[in-house]
Structure 1
């Protein structure tokens, strides 16, 4: 363990926000992992949040779902609130790793990061908000490094499949990988699916504040990453993808940001050739395209005004054509859902000169898994387990990192492959 985090703390893992929509899945995943842990020191964990009754209720529900009655009596509840620094301090002094499930992170994330860095607890979240993730790196990397604390954001779906998927491809490619396109496809059961309101809120406020992201990035003073080999080809905003047989658009989430930060780290710290990356997501058939176009115009207009943002967040189902709801998907929809992310890479085979001619080699890999909420829970928990067991393999002695930068020398891909995702090479 890092010097700032000692084994005298009573808990290995504390789930903050365990009664929230994503937090409930994380709680169940931690409970399963703890129950299935092999011999040795058992995994000790607790739940935290601002409402004791809700936490008691979620433990009761998990006990029934998992047939683990001991959850109702053996798991400690820690009352902590982002608006109360003292409560966060007490929480962070009791755990080795804090799993922060309280979003949107732009509003509620920084107090938890600050408390973790101050009181020596490693921090993991599942944020998909580039403004928050990059600002935490700018403001807390040096502080976390000095404290021997790791702050690792975006450890859920979809950034874990994207970021580690490219690491997997780089390891499998015999030569210099220079450019990658990924195609995300969702597979739903007969009842369809929907996203939760928290994801919708993150999108609303993220798009509304997109201008500040460019200003934030200027503060890093980064030089542009070198473009190795041929520049990645440009596609139109909407096109029919033969790769996934759906109409496809650029993916608007945090994947591009997360992957670029990882590639910068590998270039600067490991002298690895950086990869150009373009993520895409399938939207379905023509009817879905029409809905997307109409909804996108309304969304683009309304996020510009405070009243519009208020209406968007008050009525997510109406403005998203049912794609996002305050209740989120049902358990049946989650259990029936899955995803695939297919990566098409090109580069230069061993012995070829990347500065000369067109790419000479191609590769196709894939990451497949269960529904995004289940994958998020598994990825977050396995990230925490990796921090606990493989701290010596993480970079430097602390800091703020992406999943790929933090875990590129660890067994996280193998851990995930034995749980919720499969990483493979396609012929």
Structure 2
């Protein structure tokens, strides 16, 4: 990709949004360290300049000379002009199923890398189906799920594979989110995440159609097969009850593992994703919320109600009013991973073992608020990694999930030094 005509390394699109605002101090910090140039983009030049002034005062440095670009998702020409000025676009404008494709299109046409924090499976897989070949031709990387969905889970499995000396057969991930100290009033996550989840269910039929085209061949089914646990259950690695996690983590992990199998001839790791609820009453509450959410999301009138009253339908977990700074500072998360496999390494991806797994490993990915602390650090560092470690990315451009895209880079190490920490808990002999 030629960058001679580009005067900026990074442009953050949607800089005045809730996630964009929290990314700016990190972009300023890392760009100074690495001598990178950056700018902001959005619909309102006035709001962008006002925000840069406000942010500069908060972090103690002048941002008056940061370039401001006016771009609107409803105006493709402005998006192309924006993309033409940068090496990579950090896209913070969701829901991506509605607003993501025009930005991806502009980036592919202008030869510009692109990262976002989408947790919307339909959007991510539709972009892979539609733009992967074009992105390869242009040598650009289009990488979604670079936030809480799904860096901890997808890169967590990659971390587990790297630390497992042998052949990893299966892995489970268990998410836990909690608030330190006394509970703080207000929602835990902002409205955008809820909005994306509502529309994601509405796209279920379209997603199946995309997958039939994108993945015409099934991955091999290796024994022993990892069975999903659909009922609430206990796990010795975490406190409370464990339930299936219905987010996009599993789909993202599967995309990465498919690529490892197809491109690198590696045996794919089977994965199941879960989350924890501390009490059985919480299990009942979450089950009721999930059932109501699923029913209402099937119909347009139901989706309208879910979007109008997120606090009521989520029992206060989501709200149109963003979480307070106090709340954000107190919320923590961890993703616990447990994997099983064999001590020996199979040289052929299609070979089978005739003995049960004889080795286990557990790890943990943890950090500050999943929606803001972890997400913003992951997004900014992912963008920087694309343009500073291009030689360690997949051999050609394309539309990729983060696990496969960043497997050979130093992103895990960079995250571990900042907001998202990776650690091995134990390795155990099962023989």
2:89 corresponds to which residue? 98
CA distance in 2, matches of 1:369, 1:79: 34
Q: Is the 1:335–1:371 Cα contact (8 Å) retained in structure 2?
A: yes
Of 282, 286, 298, the residue aligned with 1:292 is 286
Q: Is the 2:167–2:345 Cα contact (8 Å) retained in structure 1?
A: no
1:27 corresponds to which residue? 24
2:37 corresponds to which residue? 44
Q: Kindly indicate whether residue 170 of structure 2 is the aligned counterpart of residue 179 of structure 1.
A: yes
Under a length normalisation based on structure 2, what TM-score does the superposition of the two structures give? Answer: 0.94
Q: Is the 2:416–2:422 Cα contact (8 Å) retained in structure 1?
A: yes
Q: Kindly indicate whether residue 274 of structure 2 is the aligned counterpart of residue 280 of structure 1.
A: yes
CA distance in 2, matches of 1:239, 1:213: 29
Q: CA deviation at 1:220?
A: 1.9
Instruction: Give the 4+ runs in structure 1 shifted more than 3 A.
Output: 351-354
CA distance in 1, matches of 2:318, 2:145: 20
Q: Which moved more, 1:413-422 or 1:48-57?
A: 48-57
CA distance in 2, matches of 1:289, 1:281: 11
Of 11, 15, 23, the residue aligned with 1:14 is 11
Output one character per residue of 1:330-366: Cα deviation in whole Å (capped at 9) or x when no partner.
1111111111111110001126884202111111111
Q: Is the 1:367–1:422 Cα contact (8 Å) retained in structure 2?
A: yes
Residue-pair matches, total: 418
Under a length normalisation based on structure 1, what TM-score does the superposition of the two structures give? Answer: 0.94
Output one character per residue of 1:267-293: Cα deviation in whole Å (capped at 9) or x when no partner.
111111100000101122133223222
Q: Kindly indicate whether residue 241 of structure 2 is the aligned counterpart of residue 247 of structure 1.
A: yes
Alignment of 1:366-385 (within 5 A): 366-372=364-370, 373-385=372-384
CA distance in 1, matches of 2:345, 2:416: 32
CA distance in 1, matches of 2:127, 2:410: 25
2:429 corresponds to which residue? none
Output one character per residue of 1:248-270: Cα deviation in whole Å (capped at 9) or x when no partner.
21111111111101001111111
Q: Is the 1:227–1:274 Cα contact (8 Å) retained in structure 2?
A: no
2:216 corresponds to which residue? 222
Of 321, 342, 345, the residue aligned with 1:348 is 342
Task: Report the RMSD for the aligned CA atoms in angstroms.
Answer: 1.5
Q: Is the 2:250–2:273 Cα contact (8 Å) retained in structure 1?
A: yes
CA distance in 1, matches of 2:345, 2:5: 52
Q: Which moved more, 1:277-286 or 1:96-105?
A: 277-286
Of 284, 296, 303, the residue aligned with 1:302 is 296
Alignment of 1:98-247 (within 5 A): 98-189=89-180, 190-192=182-184, 193-247=187-241
Of 322, 330, 335, the residue aligned with 1:336 is 330
Output one character per residue of 1:354-403: Cα deviation in whole Å (capped at 9) or x when no partner.
42021111111111111111111111111111111111111122111111
Q: Which moved more, 1:182-191 or 1:371-380?
A: 182-191
Distance 1:53 1:386, change over 3 A: same
Q: Unpaired runs of 5+ in structure 1?
A: none
